[in-house]
Amino acid sequence: MSSLPIRGRGATSNPDSRYLSQTKERVDDGWWPDDLPPLKTTVTTEYARSIISRNESPDIPFEQSINPYRGCEHGCSYCYARPGHAYLGLSPGLDFESRLRVKPDAAELLIRALSRKGYRVSPIALGANTDPYQPVEREWGITRQILEVLARCRHPVSITTKSALIERDVAILADMARDNLVQVQLSITTLDRTLARQMEPRAPTPPRRIQAMARLIEAGIPVTVMVAPIIPALNDAELEAILARAAEIGVTRADYILLRLPLELETLFRDWLDTHYPTRAKHVWSLVQASHGGKIYRSEFGQRQTGTGPYADMIGQRFRLALKRLNLQPASLKTLNHEAFVPPEPPTAQLSLF
């Protein structure tokens, strides 16, 4: 059943966390106002014991990641990180994009981690879960603080974003790029501004992201274009056009990810489809299932990001042919410099009383 779109938001509903012992459901009895006020974003600080997350998944090209924020105000309807909000007792729906958590001591925790004896250098991924340059970064600047630490220590970093706010840190990134310490993945889901506004309501427009790519490349910063996610029967026809537009401005590497719908995201994205594209929903759903062995989602390594079956194989073949025609290379983090690392001075164990 379709829901009404909510102004400025991607999700059309706010289901309870799957970990709650009791759940509630809103029933429209005719008394709800027709024009609700905009849903405001709230921010809560979170102080963690550590900041670096480790990854052992064989189909993910990094071992370490940092997520400065939980939740993401971009509100992308398809975001595979949404189900993680349930661990906080919050909804993967509207809560995910309106009730954010920030980690103000992230840079301090990073210094402690990098100064430990026996620390092994491996590229740290920013944006593995939620966007490190989402709008709240303008106020908090946590991503910039992390980058300043990594730059001082000459530590390799990979950044994934769809935000033009990354231009703010061009000077830091250009300095790191001179030592081959940084790789940026910038995501472009569509070149259609109307579709982008519906899928990614608070993210920069596609032309603005192209402009940010060009700015980074001009500064000597390696950029990979991420066509992600590819949504069957919705944006899949744009694959070659997105790659060609990126190649025009000097992008040399590319990657793609097929739509992933784990846990609550299956219902959330289906609601979004029924609301915005009801005549295409059945076709989209049938191709999603065809790409995951008849299921909506399969979590097996090596399959969850690219899918299987004739449709998924066709997308992979189109991608490879486009790379060859446009002289683009597959994305890779293996070439980043691991040798320049200089450990930071460890923080003092005890603060002074005076």
Amino acid of residue 222: P
pLDDT score for 10: 84
Note the helical H segments in 44-159.
94-98, 106-114, 137-140, 142-153
pLDDT score for 61: 79
Do 126 and 66 meet the contact criterion of CB atoms below 8 Å apart? Answer: yes
Q: Which residues pair with 70 in a beta bridge?
A: 101
pLDDT score for 352: 44
| Cα–Cα distance for residue pair 163/161, rounded to 1 Å | 6
The DSSP bridge pattern shows strands 124-126 and 99-102 to be unpaired
pLDDT score for 137: 98
Per-residue pLDDT reduced to its tens digit, 33-74: 555 557 899 999 999 899 999 988 777 778 999 999 999 999
Assess whether pLDDT exceeds 60 at residue 108.
yes
Assess whether pLDDT exceeds 50 at residue 141.
yes
pLDDT: which is higher, 345 or 354? 345
Sketch out the chain's domains with CATH numbers: 42-330 (3.20.20.70)
Share of the chain above pLDDT 90, in %: 79
What is the rounded (10 degree) CA torsion for 293, 295, 299, 304? 60
- Among candidates 211, 236, 214, which has minimal Cα distance to 287? 236
- Among candidates 137, 186, 134, which has minimal Cα distance to 159? 186
Mean pLDDT of 180-195: 97
Per-residue pLDDT reduced to its tens digit, 217-226: 999 999 999 9
Q: What is the mean pLDDT of the chain?
A: 91
Assess whether pLDDT exceeds 70 at residue 171.
yes
Can you give the C-alpha Rg of the chain in angstroms? 21
Mean pLDDT of 304-313: 94
pLDDT: which is higher, 27 or 9? 9
- Among candidates 112, 83, 115, which has minimal Cα distance to 17? 83
Question: What are the φ and ψ backbone dihedral angles of 54, each rounded to 5 degrees?
Answer: -100, 145
At 354, the pLDDT band (50, 70, 90 cuts) reads very low
Assess whether pLDDT exceeds 60 at residue 324.
yes
158-181 burial, b at 16+ Cβ within 10 Å, e below that, comes to: bbbbbbbbbebbbebbebbbeeeb
- Among candidates 260, 286, 249, 217, which has minimal Cα distance to 79? 260
pTM (2 d.p.): 0.91
Q: Which residues pair with 187 in a beta bridge?
A: 226
SS3 213: helix
Both tokens of 326, joined, read 């446009």
CB-CB neighbours of 329 under 10 Å: 12
pLDDT score for 227: 98
Both tokens of 258, joined, read 């097929």
Length of the chain: 354
SS3 276: helix
Assess whether pLDDT exceeds 90 at residue 201.
yes
What residues contact 354, with CB distance under 8 A and at least 6 apart? none
